[in-house]
Amino acid sequence: MSKVLLLGVSLLLCCALAHGLVCRVCKFQVGALCFHSRSPCTAERQQVCETTKAYIGKVPLFSKYGCSRTRETCNMTEQKDTVFEVSYNRTCCETDLCNAAGPTRAAGLPLLSGLGALLGWWLLK
């Protein structure tokens, strides 16, 4: 009975991973260094993961990324600062942790799946 209960709990834990779209969050990044990082956000309905990169000409200034507020601004380049001619390039994606560079937390999912399969095999043995 305890093996069946343990298997059930393991399955519930794996199913709990199947939630909404998860996006990386950094409010201010220069190069590869994020100076204002936060925990990943979970996108709400109709939201996607967004990366915004600021440039002067072709020279990158900074980046920021997180859950988008709206899909309408995806894959657009805007020029908001006319004094320094800073342009903002927004790109969007729709898979977990797909926005911006950085260590992916999704890499642990295959390991967790493998351990779950091994546990299931051991329990049913």
Q: Is residue 36 part of a domain?
A: yes
Kindly report the number of other CB atoms within 10 A of residue 67's CB atom: 20
- On the question of pLDDT at 125 being above 80, the answer is no
Per-residue pLDDT tens digits for 66-93: 999 888 888 988 887 778 889 999 999 9
Provide the number of structural domains found in the chain.
1
Q: Is residue 1 part of a domain?
A: no
What is residue 80's predicted lDDT score, i.e. its pLDDT? 79
Domain that holds residue 30: 21-113
Q: Is residue 15 part of a domain?
A: no
- On the question of pLDDT at 3 being above 60, the answer is no
What is residue 101's predicted lDDT score, i.e. its pLDDT? 65
Angle at 35 between CA 30 and CA 40, to 5 degrees: 105
Provide the pLDDT confidence category of residue 12 given band limits of 50, 70 and 90: very low
Kindly report the number of other CB atoms within 10 A of residue 25's CB atom: 19
Q: Is residue 81 part of a domain?
A: yes
Which pTM does this prediction carry? 0.62
Q: Is residue 13 part of a domain?
A: no
What is residue 19's predicted lDDT score, i.e. its pLDDT? 64
Q: Is residue 50 part of a domain?
A: yes
The residue ranking higher by pLDDT, 9 or 115, is 115
The residue ranking higher by pLDDT, 124 or 41, is 41
Q: Is residue 122 part of a domain?
A: no
CATH code: domain of residue 80: 2.10.60.10
Q: Is residue 11 part of a domain?
A: no
